[in-house]
């Protein structure tokens, strides 16, 4: 296993990288191989990867819908902050869209 030391200037980026590493660990524990060994070992072809991407994106849409319904049912628009003032021309419409019922 390769090891690397990274200096992060942005804690948000660091958190995302940590999640990628954790996700990789879960995948390795589940399938017993890395994405690299899966690809180079020809365990999956391009069509297989495209299918995986499509399924993951479909799941993401479902999670977005469930989250929107949760916001609507709980009447908690304060979970969102109004858009940054630098987007003033569309800020109110964006804000209205963010809290609009599903």
What is residue 79's predicted lDDT score, i.e. its pLDDT?
56
- Matching residue, tokens 């419409």: 93
Rounded to a whole number of angstroms, the distance between the first and last alpha carbons of the chain is 46
Residue 79's nearest CA partner among 71, 88, 67, 68 is 71
What does the mean pLDDT of the chain come to? 86
Of the listed ranges 2-6, 39-43, 54-58, 88-92, the one predicted with least confidence: 88-92
What is residue 75's predicted lDDT score, i.e. its pLDDT?
77
Quick one: tokens of 62? 């479902």
Quick one: tokens of 92? 């109110």
DSSP conformation letters of 37-87? HHHHTTSS-HHHHHHHHHHHHHHHHHHHHHHHHHHHHHT-GGGSPPPPGGG
């Amino acid at each position: 296993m390769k090891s690397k030391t990274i200096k992060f200037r942005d804690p948000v980026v660091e958190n995302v990288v940590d999640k990628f590493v954790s996700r990789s660990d879960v995948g390795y524990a589940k399938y017993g191989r890395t994405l690299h060994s899966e690809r180079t070992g020809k365990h999956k072809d391009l069509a297989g990867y495209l299918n995986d991407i499509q399924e993951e994106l479909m799941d993401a849409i479902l999670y977005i819908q469930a989250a929107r319904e949760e916001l609507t049912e709980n009447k908690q628009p304060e979970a969102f902050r109004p858009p940054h003032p630098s987007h003033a021309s569309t800020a109110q419409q964006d804000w209205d869209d963010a809290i609009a019922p599903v």
